[in-house]
Structure 1
Amino acid sequence: MTVHNDTVAAAQADPDAPQPYAELGLRDEEYARIKEILGRRPSDAELTVYSVMWSEHCSYKSSKTHLRYFGETTTPEMSEKILAGIGENAGVVDIGDGNAVTFRVESHNHPSYVEPYQGAATGVGGIVRDIMAMGARPIAVMDQLRFGAADAPDTKRVLPGVVSGIGGYGNSLGLPNIGGETVFDESYAGNPLVNALCVGTLKVEDLKLAFASGTGNKVMLFGSRTGLDGIGGVSVLASETFEDGAERKLPAVQVGDPFAEKVLIECCLDLYHAGVVVGIQDLGGAGLACATSELAAAGDGGMRVNLDAVPLRAKNMSAAEILASESQERMCAVVAPENVEKFFEICAKWDVTAAEIGEVTDEDDRLVVTHNGEVVIDAPPSSIDDGPVYERPWARPEWQDELQRYVPVERPADLRRALLDMVSSPALCSRDFITEQYDRYVRGNTVKAKYSDAGVLRIDEETNRGVAVSADASGRYTRLDPNTGARLALAEAYRNVAVTGAKPVAVTNCLNYGSPENPDVMWQFRESVHGLADGAKELGIPVSGGNVSFYNQTGDEPILPTPVVGVLGVIDDVHDAIGHDLGTVDEPEVLILLGATRDEFGGSIWQQVSGGGLNGLPPQVDLADEERLADFFVGNTMLTAAHDLSEGGLAQAVVEMAVRADRGVELDLSGVHDDAFVALFSESASRALVATTADHVDGVLARAAELGVPAVQVGSTAEGRDLSFGEVTVPVAELREAWSSTLPELFGHAVGANAVVE
């Protein structure tokens, strides 16, 4: 097999040679701009690098103009504890006592549809390496998943593979999965969302950044060898111009090896501890092309790279293929010459393949790459890394007014039946079928995970300082009102962290939308960014970073706009974390509802379950109310349990608490709302359900009143094993069966070995 390997010299000698730039996702004007930058046509390798780096995934070319609003709304006071923010591999927050925490969420949507197991697995691997690149030890993962209708045939293919991939990779790494969310909606059929979040910990002084600095410093590639898997992951590298002869069979989705990544984690931490790393970057989307150009662009000079030194696992790879390969478990570091030997020693200790592939030069803003002894790239790395910026047309859709016209939901005559229908729906049923495939307590520092509103982790074993993390989104709310939908996602993640007793300190996000070439979608995106940025400013916590995923659609039909918002909180002593469950002993507990309940059903789960479609306005949210509610929980020692209210309303919160504790509950809804249906199923924001003992009821109500948080006693635990309200009585055992049986009945075919077969 002969591989065409165009060089810079060939490009100069044959300036008019046709090139498949359109097949690689480049527009006419982008190709013209590349030729203007270079003063000639690009070589094949240059064309490849520009195409992947100027892709939507890497360059944010359609979103940059709107993402700048995060910077415009962030005050110096908000950023005081942010050690690394927007633009870095992950946000890093100083949590005190010399400790820092880094967290980020990123999408791996399209690969997870093509090959669910490997797509999801390598999504976990990629986000873990982002955390490693900050100088941190990864300590936990979470996931945000969106699938088509639960009973759709393709969901039966995609969901088991995705869940097995997340568990297979994360469990093998020894990282606890401390929470997440799984949503079903027909808009995600053909385009599931797999958003992976990772949390890491480091000492403040150990922070690492991605830049190539210091003339003469060496560029080191280490980890797995580079192969043909994943080429085209962020673009379309599929033209026969890059190859003469038989077509190669390239796996479209990267293939992960979690055990190689586990060793790579320990190797990186050893390298950091030895002080031999100047700058570091993981190899994810766009592979070596991205790592070298980003390191060089962020540095103070240029870089020369020799692809002949790259360890390969496939023969006859062209320069374009080596640069665009997205083979997993690889990192790129900048190392001073005197530390190279030590670097190799540490890599050898962990049996990690390492190679010196280049060096930092004094050729200001120049990336020179050679292959087979010839120059294949000679370009300014800043031009590769920055990419174009587009002001895409955006406009409020003509159909938005009609969508927001509320059709009153049907009020059920039988509240007992309505309750069972809700808790057994795919929207609200137990996720045990999914979460039981994940290890939640490995490493021994997980304080809260299963059934907790937020995952809680101990960070410092001496002081017991810890963090709480949650991520949330409602595509239904955001479809109805993108600005409010993003605010509601922020509010729920913020509230989930707050009910554990942690103080929210930082935000991350993963913004999943349809095509940016659709003005309707761009309006949704812009409105969501503004809602999230303004909301973060109102709460006084900074957005530390994020990710944008466009082109999530099936044909011309975009997914529900889905801004996943993650919030990180700090708790001084994890022993004080507020639990999620009622006690299992016979001591009575009193239930108190915090926050105001209104007749708000636009975008609600009841609207979905009852066949009411999607219309109206989502619940309104005042973030000042969320802040007061959060203040209620900080340092509060009077509570025995707490649960936020969100989808499914009060009924869902009570059912989950009763089922898990196997305790009866008697509800009095008279003080909540004059309509029992509204009291049970409204999804009004800024609410939480708390439990306390009889001797603390007055104290809880007084604290709420002092903070201006509406509070009403709504019931208590009962001696029997029934949930009752008004004249309705439902055995807890019946609720448990309805809540727990739905997903096993839908996906039980994939339990065990079948789940990982692709």
Structure 2
Amino acid sequence: MSLDTVKHAAETPDAAQPWAELGLKQDEYERIREILDRRPTGAELAMYSVMWSEHCSYKSSKVHLKQFSEKAPKSEAMLVGIGENAGVVDVGQGYAVTFKVESHNHPSYIEPYQGAATGVGGIVRDILAMGARPVAVVDPLRFGAADHPDTKRVLPGVVAGIGGYGNCLGLPNIGGEVVFDPCYQGNPLVNAGCIGVMKHEDIHLAKASGPGNKVILYGARTGGDGIGGVSVLASETFDDSKPAKRPAVQVGDPFQEKLLIECTLEVFREDLVAGIQDLGGAGLSCATSELASAGSGGMRIELDTVPLRDASLSPEEILMSESQERMCAIVEPGKVDRFLEICEKWDVIATVIGEVTEGERLEIFWHGEQIVDVPPRSVAHEGPTYHRPYARPDWQDTLQADDAGRLPRPQTPEELREQVLRLVGSPNQASKAWITDQYDRFVQGNTVLAQPEDAGMVRIDEESNLGVAIATDGNGRYAKLDPYTGAQLALAEAYRNVAATGAKPLAVSDCLNFGSPEDPAVMWQFAEATRGLADACRQLGTPVTGGNVSLYNQTGETAIHPTPVVAVLGVIDDVTRRTPIAFAAEGQLLYLLGDTREEFGGSAWSQVVHDHLGGLPPAVDLDRERLLGEILISASRDGMIDAAHDLSDGGLIQAVVESCLRGGTGARLIVPDGLDAFTLLFSESAGRAVVAVPRSEEVRFNDMCGARGLPATRIGVVDGDAVEVQGEFSIPLTELRSVYEDAIPALLA
């Protein structure tokens, strides 16, 4: 087959092209022809198809995402916001932290190990490209029913991939979540996050300016293992009638990535880079078009100089390949030799593949023949913008009217005790140690808190003990009941988790996982969730620094629950003052902070005991969340509390059991006036936490809460070797530990 050059494309306007097979709509193909004033070459068609995919262009979501900028609160901490590889915030003492969460959902269902491993690799390179050293990862995960046979295939592979890649990189895995629900059967959610640290002056951006500067591709060779990759896989629904796109799943090499990290950090230290971009979704198509678009606009690439693992790859395949462990740097001519020397030192392949030009076109050549001549912005930033129709679904009113408050409640102390044990031993509430023990949580020696704490925390300065904390949260059941409130609850819980450790919440990244945008009901869920999150971020003063949208998460006609996952980053001046969840010292007084109401819609109790989803999720009071956070941070800093645990899924009893098991001591609880035991234990009212207060600090703590107007109710004491609710039941810690720790291993045996 003869090469499809720009000249040939102009001479053969009617040649048939596989635009539909590449995922383009007819009107999109026609628009490409208008932009170029001719038909595209095969290479140009490949570039537009991956860059205009849902995963890369956000064509269905960007009209809603602009709220994150329009409603963004003023933040002195924000250094780099939405639009770069990752957001950057100032954490003090000259340090900046960059963080982001992304999805690798569909690839992880097809090839669980490689899909999850390369998800970690990709997010780490995003952080690296900002100029930062990656210091920790997190992994919010969602799987189908815990007892479903396919969960036994997907979950162990995903966990092994995350652990295998992260452990080999030497990055501690400090947080995340694991949730089971039948709605994720056939479409698990594998979201990965990373934190990186740098000094302010080390921030790097993705732009190619300076005519004559060289374009250097460095890292692994380009292969055929990721052609189309997530840009194709994540841009359509799964359908059992179609073959799985296995070749589209990338294959990762963490040892190559480790060399790439150290090599990149050294070229940064020597100030050899004028612009940089990692190669993730859409590969070279993305890196070249985005660098050129964000810079002076012109770039010439000699594609046949790209180092290959497979010599048979066509130009189109090279441009679409998402092979891992690759970066693209813009380097001044006088610095090229030193750049290449450092790459050779780290055994990293580096090749000059082109240069920045005076013009405004991205031109790509193959053995001297021009195969691409496009305006780079049209590829990278001017893809389609869809105003998808959306409408509140007919079934929403019926779902919300099916109130969980009507469900039968336990009538005897024995029944209450039995339901506590069922809750604690349910897959979503049980210990995830089988999973998290496969991750190295303490490598590098700077991990301060890790699973199962409320938030992960790492020290970033050994002299001052400055540290950062991160928590990721999201409840698809809440969001199904009310997407607006559900998204706000996800933010509120992550905010609360960070504050509970003593860190001050600063900024947000998000990973918005939804079904097909072509379904008006799903698009309504997305519109409501983004509106809710943007409104809540403005009220809490935590700007969105960046994130990811993952659509088409459904199999056939069945969409997942709307699942906005929110990551909150916080800063703590001294990590030695952090607050753990463990109740460790007998005699500590237990206080319940916040108001407890009859709120069971979407609750763990309604799911575990009645397999029910209906009603309204807990109400959100963001002013209360902010006040609670301020109290938790002040109490931690001033030594007024020894332990704190936020209340969320499973309510008070789940939090108390986890804190008791973590500390190895029991607790005696009393039911305060105005509440019954059932509501006290199982309600999931937001804006609450349980804290352990030393007796010597009780007066001071109460005075602070009273002065600030935060309800603080004494509900018990840390004591003994059982969890006892006075007048109701007592459960020995040995029995609780067995139920809590044995559930997941038994399901996966």
TM normalised by structure 1 equals 0.95
CA deviation map 1:642-673 (0-9, x unaligned)? 000000000001111112222121100224x5
Give me the CA root mean square deviation: 1.2
Instruction: Say yes or no: does 1:486 pair with 2:487.
Output: yes
Q: Quick one: distance in 2 between partners of 1:350 and 1:398?
A: 59
Q: Please give the secondary structure, in 2, of the residue aligned with 1:219.
A: strand
Displacement of 1:4 in angstroms is: 6.0
Kept in 2, the 8 Å contact 1:25–1:235? The answer is: no
Q: Please give the secondary structure, in 2, of the residue aligned with 1:254.
A: coil
Q: Which residue of structure 1 lines up, in the alignment, with residue 112 of structure 2?
A: 116
Q: Please give the secondary structure, in 2, of the residue aligned with 1:658.
A: helix
Q: Quick one: distance in 2 between partners of 1:464 and 1:5?
A: 60
Kept in 2, the 8 Å contact 1:144–1:195? The answer is: yes
Displacement of 1:612 in angstroms is: 4.3
Structure 2: runs of 5+ lacking an equivalent: 234-244
Displacement of 1:724 in angstroms is: 3.6
Q: Which residue of structure 1 lines up, in the alignment, with residue 93 of structure 2?
A: 97
Q: Which residue of structure 2 lines up, in the alignment, with residue 155 of structure 1?
A: 151
Q: Which residue of structure 1 lines up, in the alignment, with residue 555 of structure 2?
A: 554
Aligned residues: 729
Q: Quick one: distance in 2 between partners of 1:195 and 1:649?
A: 25
2:378 equivalent among 383, 390, 400: 383
1:38 equivalent among 36, 39, 49: 36
Displacement of 1:96 in angstroms is: 1.1
Cα 1:4–1:441 shift into 2, 3 Å: farther
Instruction: Say yes or no: does 1:265 pair with 2:247.
Output: no
Q: Which residue of structure 2 lines up, in the alignment, with residue 74 of structure 1?
A: 72
Kept in 2, the 8 Å contact 1:4–1:318? The answer is: no
Q: Please give the secondary structure, in 2, of the residue aligned with 1:403.
A: helix
Q: Which residue of structure 2 lines up, in the alignment, with residue 653 of structure 1?
A: 655
Q: Which residue of structure 1 lines up, in the alignment, with residue 238 of structure 2?
A: none
Amino acid paired to 1:491: A
Q: Please give the secondary structure, in 1, of the residue aligned with 2:644.
A: strand
Q: Please give the secondary structure, in 1, of the residue aligned with 2:525.
A: helix
Q: Please give the secondary structure, in 2, of the residue aligned with 1:16.
A: coil
Displacement of 1:462 in angstroms is: 1.6
Displacement of 1:540 in angstroms is: 1.1
Q: Quick one: distance in 1 between partners of 2:544 and 2:19?
A: 36
Q: Which residue of structure 2 lines up, in the alignment, with residue 603 of structure 1?
A: 602
Q: Quick one: distance in 1 between partners of 2:532 and 2:723?
A: 42
Q: Quick one: distance in 2 between partners of 1:270 and 1:291?
A: 21
Q: Please give the secondary structure, in 1, of the residue aligned with 2:532.
A: helix
Kept in 1, the 8 Å contact 2:230–2:249? The answer is: no
Q: Please give the secondary structure, in 2, of the residue aligned with 1:251.
A: helix
Identity of aligned residues (%): 61
Q: Quick one: distance in 2 between partners of 1:147 and 1:725?
A: 37
1:314 equivalent among 300, 310, 316: 310
Displacement of 1:236 in angstroms is: 4.8
Amino acid paired to 1:6: D
Q: Which residue of structure 2 lines up, in the alignment, with residue 428 of structure 1?
A: 429
Kept in 1, the 8 Å contact 2:60–2:388? The answer is: yes
Q: Quick one: distance in 2 between partners of 1:69 and 1:150?
A: 36
Q: Quick one: distance in 2 between partners of 1:5 and 1:453?
A: 57
Superposed counterparts of 1:343-742, under 5 Å:
343-364=339-360, 366-386=361-381, 387-405=383-401, 406-407=403-404, 408-413=406-411, 414-583=415-584, 585=585, 587-636=586-635, 637-671=639-673, 673-742=674-743
Structure 1: runs of 5+ lacking an equivalent: 238-248, 749-758
Kept in 1, the 8 Å contact 2:107–2:230? The answer is: no
Kept in 1, the 8 Å contact 2:424–2:430? The answer is: yes
Q: Quick one: distance in 1 between partners of 2:169 and 2:231?
A: 29
Q: Quick one: distance in 1 between partners of 2:3 and 2:645?
A: 60
Bigger shift: residues 695-704 or 480-489: 695-704
CA deviation map 1:164-218 (0-9, x unaligned)? 0000000000000001100001010000000000000000000000000001000
Q: Quick one: distance in 2 between partners of 1:708 and 1:174?
A: 45
Q: Please give the secondary structure, in 1, of the residue aligned with 2:493.
A: helix
2:195 equivalent among 193, 199, 202: 199
Kept in 2, the 8 Å contact 1:410–1:610? The answer is: no
Q: Please give the secondary structure, in 2, of the residue aligned with 1:634.
A: helix
Q: Which residue of structure 1 lines up, in the alignment, with residue 236 of structure 2?
A: none
Amino acid paired to 2:152: K
Amino acid paired to 2:376: P
Amino acid paired to 2:567: G
1:182 equivalent among 178, 181, 198: 178
Q: Quick one: distance in 1 between partners of 2:127 and 2:231?
A: 24
Q: Which residue of structure 2 lines up, in the alignment, with residue 129 of structure 1?
A: 125
Q: Quick one: distance in 2 between partners of 1:661 and 1:93?
A: 34
Kept in 1, the 8 Å contact 2:446–2:458? The answer is: yes
Kept in 2, the 8 Å contact 1:215–1:301? The answer is: no
Displacement of 1:400 in angstroms is: 0.6
Q: Which residue of structure 1 lines up, in the alignment, with residue 237 of structure 2?
A: none
CA deviation map 1:228-276 (0-9, x unaligned)? 0111214559xxxxxxxxxxx9722100000000010000000000100
Q: Please give the secondary structure, in 1, of the residue aligned with 2:445.
A: coil
CA deviation map 1:531-568 (0-9, x unaligned)? 00100100112111110000000111110000000000
Q: Which residue of structure 2 lines up, in the alignment, with residue 53 of structure 1?
A: 51
Kept in 1, the 8 Å contact 2:495–2:505? The answer is: yes
Kept in 1, the 8 Å contact 2:581–2:645? The answer is: yes
Displacement of 1:722 in angstroms is: 4.6
Kept in 2, the 8 Å contact 1:220–1:356? The answer is: yes
Q: Quick one: distance in 2 between partners of 1:662 and 1:163?
A: 28
Amino acid paired to 2:667: V
Amino acid paired to 2:229: G
CA deviation map 1:35-66 (0-9, x unaligned)? 00001100000000000000000000000100
Amino acid paired to 1:329: E
Kept in 1, the 8 Å contact 2:514–2:553? The answer is: yes
Displacement of 1:100 in angstroms is: 0.2
Q: Please give the secondary structure, in 2, of the residue aligned with 1:128.
A: helix
Q: Please give the secondary structure, in 2, of the residue aligned with 1:635.
A: helix
Q: Quick one: distance in 1 between partners of 2:219 and 2:407?
A: 56
Amino acid paired to 1:439: D
Bigger shift: residues 102-111 or 13-22: 13-22
Kept in 2, the 8 Å contact 1:23–1:236? The answer is: no
Q: Please give the secondary structure, in 1, of the residue aligned with 2:330.
A: strand
Cα 1:25–1:235 shift into 2, 3 Å: farther
Amino acid paired to 1:539: L
Instruction: Say yes or no: does 1:16 pair with 2:20.
Output: no
Q: Quick one: distance in 2 between partners of 1:4 and 1:689?
A: 71
Q: Which residue of structure 2 lines up, in the alignment, with residue 240 of structure 1?
A: none
Displacement of 1:725 in angstroms is: 3.3
Q: Quick one: distance in 1 between partners of 2:491 and 2:161?
A: 28
Q: Which residue of structure 1 lines up, in the alignment, with residue 241 of structure 2?
A: none
Q: Quick one: distance in 2 between partners of 1:5 and 1:479?
A: 51
Cα 1:219–1:605 shift into 2, 3 Å: same
Q: Which residue of structure 2 lines up, in the alignment, with residue 753 of structure 1?
A: none
Kept in 1, the 8 Å contact 2:284–2:318? The answer is: yes
Q: Quick one: distance in 1 between partners of 2:388 and 2:144?
A: 29
Displacement of 1:373 in angstroms is: 1.5
Displacement of 1:727 in angstroms is: 2.9
Q: Quick one: distance in 2 between partners of 1:725 and 1:84?
A: 53
Q: Which residue of structure 2 lines up, in the alignment, with residue 751 of structure 1?
A: none
Cα 1:187–1:284 shift into 2, 3 Å: same
Q: Which residue of structure 2 lines up, in the alignment, with residue 283 of structure 1?
A: 279
Displacement of 1:450 in angstroms is: 2.5
CA deviation map 1:425-483 (0-9, x unaligned)? 01100000100000000001100113210001111112111111001000000000000
Q: Which residue of structure 2 lines up, in the alignment, with residue 752 of structure 1?
A: none
